[in-house]
Amino acid sequence: MNILFIGDVVGNPGREAIKVFLKPLIKEYGIDLTIANGENAAGGKGLTKEVAEELYDYGIEFITMGNHVWDQRSIMKFIDQEARLIRPANYPVGAPGKGYGYIRTKGKKIGILNLSGRVFLNNLEDPFSGAIRWINEMRQETPLIIVDFHAEATSEKVALGWFLDGKVSAVLGTHTHIQTADARLLHQGTAYITDVGMSGPRDSVLGVKKETIINRFLTQLPAKFELAAGPIQLNAVVIDVDESTGKARSIKAIQRVQE
């Protein structure tokens, strides 16, 4: 089974990248399931119902989130009814939405778990101990489990990858918007990458106008973040997973650019 996971979709440029590149990628790699992190998909922060529907129309089948999940307050009105959308599982009990979900493809059920890191981010429930609890619940339904770990610190991501090796099909880092060069299979059959990257404006600083961020570093003054224009890119990974065991056979990092 070939699963395509797309890195943080940033605003309209990121959605345009999905529109341009997704269908050719599905054909090229024989993709059976498409997942995307959508926490920046609406104007660079959060997700609206309209933007979610746009992503579904382009071929995205499941959406994960991150620390910007509540930036568009309207998500609270529909996240509980949307089976194809999850937020980090380690948010407090009572938060809207779910931390993991399932989707069927090729007659198989795939579980998707969303976690948030705690280093340099909100002090949520421990993602390590929480992950074991949620994965044990999920494995009663399927051995095919994809984890989106939305985290800032490289060390936290690498540690969780090793911690979950052999327990899930893949641990895929998101949040930092820069694709890392460490896609690999871990020893017990878990596919891993520290950060999948970003789908959005290429000539930018993590999606934002580069001039704005450079000036902020020079002056240390606050500035309004606006998304950059220009060339678009899509960052993703393709994971080949054994349908019977849930172990990954390969992981390949993908980059596409439209000038």
* pLDDT band, very low/low/confident/very high, at 244 (cuts 50, 70, 90): very high
Beta bridge partners of 208: 205, 227
Query: How far from chain centre, in Å, is Cα 206?
Result: 15
Q: Is 136 exposed, middle or buried (0-12, 13-18, 19+ CB in 10 A)?
A: exposed
With a CB cutoff of 8 Å and minimum separation 6, the contacts of 114 are: 64, 65, 66, 86, 87, 88, 89, 99, 100, 147, 148, 150
Q: Which residue has the tokens 């393709």?
A: 238
Which pLDDT score is estimated for 259? Answer: 72
Q: Is 150 annotated as a binding residue?
A: yes
214 backbone dihedrals φ, ψ, rounded to 5°? -60, -45
The percentage of the chain sitting over the pLDDT mark of 70, rounded to a whole number, equals 100
Asked, for residue 70, whether it belongs to a domain, the answer is yes
Structural domain boundaries, residue 126: 2-200+231-258
187 is in an annotated binding site: no
Q: Is 39 annotated as a binding residue?
A: yes
Q: Check the annotation: does 215 bind a ligand.
A: no
- Is residue 166 within 8 A of residue 189, CB to CB? The reply is yes
195 falls within a domain:
yes
Give residues with Cβ within 8 angstroms of 230, minimum separation 6.
201, 202, 203, 204
Q: Which CATH number does the domain housing residue 191 bear? A: 3.60.21.10
> Does 217 map to a domain?
no
What pLDDT was estimated at residue 201?
A: 95
The pLDDT, as a whole number, for residue 88 is 98
Residues 135-150 have pLDDT tens digits of 999 999 999 999 999 9
Q: Which of 15, 68, 157, 202 is catalytic?
A: 68
Residues 6+ apart with CB under 8 A from 23: 59
Overall domain count for the chain:
1
Q: Is residue 223 part of a domain?
A: no
Whether residue 126 is contained in a domain is answered as yes
Annotation-wise, does 114 bind a ligand? no
Look at residue 242 and tell me if it is in a domain: yes
Residue 68 designated active-site: yes
Q: Would 225 be classed as within a structural domain?
A: no
